[in-house]
Homo-oligomer: A and B are copies of this chain.
Amino acid sequence: MTNAEDALAELTAEVRRLGDHVAVSQVIASYGPLVDTSDRIERSTVLAELWTDDGIYDIGGVGSKVGKTEIAEGFVETHFDMVGSGVAHIMGLPFIEISGDSATALCYSQVMVPEGDRWFAWRVAANLWELDRTDAGWKVTRRVNRLVGPDDGAYNVQKTIDRLNSGTRS
């Protein structure tokens, strides 16, 4: 290849990496509005489309749901009733690592719920997202969600920053 072709190939790879970063951020950003409008199975089924067919949602204090159907049904008892009174799943700034056709992201989530004329944090959790590039875009293969508290759950999720951080390009 010529130097110009080399430069273009290098630039194309970097643009792809940045585009992947944005795309993964979008998946995470879409979770809140999707779950906060999931008040019936038709909607939580749309929400579950964020995952791959055999994707896992491992929820702190609730348990592990495997596959889109189980994930969609997982919201029936624990979540549908909250939507009517208003709920906001707010995602903090994610740390995202792209590695070829896989990605890992780490972020905090806050679930805010109204009470009188204020809102309170009903859940604060650490989240590890693992995603794969698919023909339908980036999809979640596994999300681990752990409530921030005295047990080791969230701590172990938070600690994955060590692995992610060391793998990051400068």
Contacts and interface: CB of A to CB of B under 8 A. Distances in A.
Interface stretch (A51-59, A63-71, A73-81, A105-113): A105-113
B122 A118 contact: yes
Nearest to A151: B86
B118 A120 contact: yes
Given A8-B8, A85-B150, A137-B168, 7 more contacts: A7-B12, A36-B158, A86-B147, A86-B149, A87-B148, A90-B92, A90-B108
Interface string A4-38: 11011001101101110111011011101110110
Interface in A123-146: 123-124, 126, 134-138
A72 interface: no
A88 interface: yes
A86 B28 contact: no
A47 to B, nearest CB: 10
Q: What does DSSP make chain A's interface, helix, strand, loop or mixed?
A: mixed
Nearest to A22: B21
Contact of A119 (B14, B19, B148, B158): B148
A26 B83 CA distance: 30
B33 A161 contact: yes
Nearest to A117: B122
A120 B119 CA distance: 8
A133 to B, nearest CB: 9
Contacts of A96: 26, 29
B114 A165 contact: no
